[in-house]
Chain A
Amino acid sequence: MSASAPSFVQLEGVTKRFGDNVVLDRIHLAVDEHNVVCLIGASGSGKSTLLRCVNLLERVDEGRIFFDGRELTNGKVDVNALRRNIGIVFQAYNLFPHMTVLQNVTLAPKKVLGHGRRKADGRARELLRRIGLEEKAEEFPDRLSGGQQQRVAIARALAMDPKLMLLDEITSALDPQLVSEVLSLVRSLTDEFGMTMIIATHEMSFAREVADRVCFLDAGVILEEGPPAQIFSSPKQARTQEFLARVLAAGRL
């Protein structure tokens, strides 16, 4: 955690306010390469904002963020170049409705990386094959189920070959029976590629399974963090216990 050798992703005292509302309060977080960190906590605890600060979709008010050995928060970073290396998947998928599945996946490789059509299409079809949606390549997103759309959104992010993936409650908008197809895709990212990921999620059993470390956020503060076994079995903080008890009562653990 020394300043001279920051982790792959490192947040130091990151603070974010919306007006008078402190959404993130001096967050410290370090993520090593090939690790998966899950952020848990109630809605409004700051999980999504934290993810959006990491790829500079939100401007940090105080503190510093490092990624892959460089500081992101000194104002000198080319945000477009940075975002090539950081994929993000949103709760509401945010696919482009006027483009086919294939065009959704190839847009950024073509326009940002300058790949030719043949190369971009080939790579996209390969990704679609891997997520089991190759036959949907020419369909428009509104013809797909929520789970399928979210898998396409993941493929769209992967098409940029990111070094880091941020998943922002990607199963929250899905019907329960569609959740597992998305989660198993995420699981394969860690198993097969060792993808570094920061995942904001309400799926506790999933977090327990894939996370190297779990952070419990409460009112913009990381109140407790540790290996999943410890957080889920013997949480130290009263707030964490309370939160997990509530989640358990809702049948999500």
Chain B
Amino acid sequence: MHRFLEAFFSPHAFRQVFPDVWNGFQTNIRMMVVAELLVLAFALAIAVVRGLPGRGAWPLRALAVVYTDTFRGTPLILVALMIGLGIPGLGIKGVSDRSNFVYGVAALTLVYTAYVTEVYRAGIESVHGSQRMAARSLGLSYAQALRYVVLPQAVRRVIPPLLNDFVGLQKDTAIISVAGVTEATIQATNFSSSYFNFTGFVVAGVLFIFLTIPLARFTDHLIRERELRERAQAV
């Protein structure tokens, strides 16, 4: 028991490792914020492309489907390794000379955009066709009906599942350590291999939990609020 506590919960090791892990964790937060903003924008664009009408838009729709299928199916760790280790070796100017942070954000964005595209798409499809019809019958164009009538309703509906995906994204910033980004997990790993003490992992874990709890509670709150609202409407 003593050895267990010493290995994972050593106060001495805590004091030694905390500054490094905390430093690394700030990189996790930065990756998370940048990736989430990119995901929000790209996923919306791709969801809209997937819903484009008409035969002419067929290649675009197909491209969007191929993208989402590919990156929803590929483990993030593989994407992170491919980008983080592969791209720098290509020697392409302007692409291969970026920092590991950029590759990490790119991997997170590629994978999570595929998830969130599906979330948006479900939201768009949940808006009844009569809403679009009402907008078009007033003379609004396809794009205007989408922009002012369909998307505002769709986005409002998918905020809880969307935040849920973001909880996943926040945790998965740890996986980006394999791409050589000096974040919390790496710092804890370095410490453990030097001192054979794993308190650093516990510190990193607790930091992640503290980061995700508020978002999870906020998501619960939104879901509860919506249930109340819908029940009020049904009466």
Seen from chain A, the residues whose Cβ lies within 8 Å of a Cβ on chain B are 55, 57, 79-81, 83-84, 86-88, 90, 92, 94-98, 107-108, 111-112, 142, 156-157, 160
The answer to whether A83 touches B137, judged by C-beta atoms less than 8 angstroms apart, is yes
The answer to whether B131 touches A96, judged by C-beta atoms less than 8 angstroms apart, is yes
Which partner residue on chain B sits nearest A91 by CB separation?
B130
Which partner residue on chain B sits nearest A97 by CB separation?
B153
In the assembly, what is the distance between CA of A206 and CA of B156, in Å? 40
Seen from chain B, the residues whose Cβ lies within 8 Å of a Cβ on chain A are 130-131, 133-141, 144, 148-149, 152-153, 156, 233
The answer to whether B139 touches A112, judged by C-beta atoms less than 8 angstroms apart, is yes
> Number of contacts between A and B (CB, 8 Å)?
58
Q: A80-B140, A83-B136, A112-B140 are in contact. List 8 more A-B contacts (CB 8 A).
A: A55-B137, A57-B137, A80-B139, A87-B137, A94-B133, A94-B134, A96-B134, A107-B135
The answer to whether B149 touches A80, judged by C-beta atoms less than 8 angstroms apart, is no
The answer to whether A81 touches B134, judged by C-beta atoms less than 8 angstroms apart, is no
Main secondary structure of the interface of B (DSSP, over half): helix
Residues of A within 8 A of B140 (CB): 80, 107-108, 111-112
In the assembly, what is the distance between CA of A94 and CA of B233, in Å? 16
Residues of A within 8 A of B156 (CB): 98
The answer to whether B148 touches A111, judged by C-beta atoms less than 8 angstroms apart, is yes
Residues of B within 8 A of A81 (CB): 139
14 contacts between A and B (CB under 8 A): A80-B139, A80-B141, A90-B130, A94-B130, A96-B134, A96-B135, A98-B152, A98-B156, A107-B138, A107-B148, A111-B148, A112-B138, A112-B140, A160-B138
The answer to whether A96 touches B139, judged by C-beta atoms less than 8 angstroms apart, is no
Question: Which listed residue (B130, B135, B148, B233) contacts A92, Cβ 8 A?
Answer: B130
The answer to whether B149 touches A96, judged by C-beta atoms less than 8 angstroms apart, is yes
The answer to whether A57 touches B133, judged by C-beta atoms less than 8 angstroms apart, is yes
In the assembly, what is the distance between CA of A157 and CA of B131, in Å? 14
Known: A94-B130, A96-B149. A57 touches B136 (CB 8 A): yes
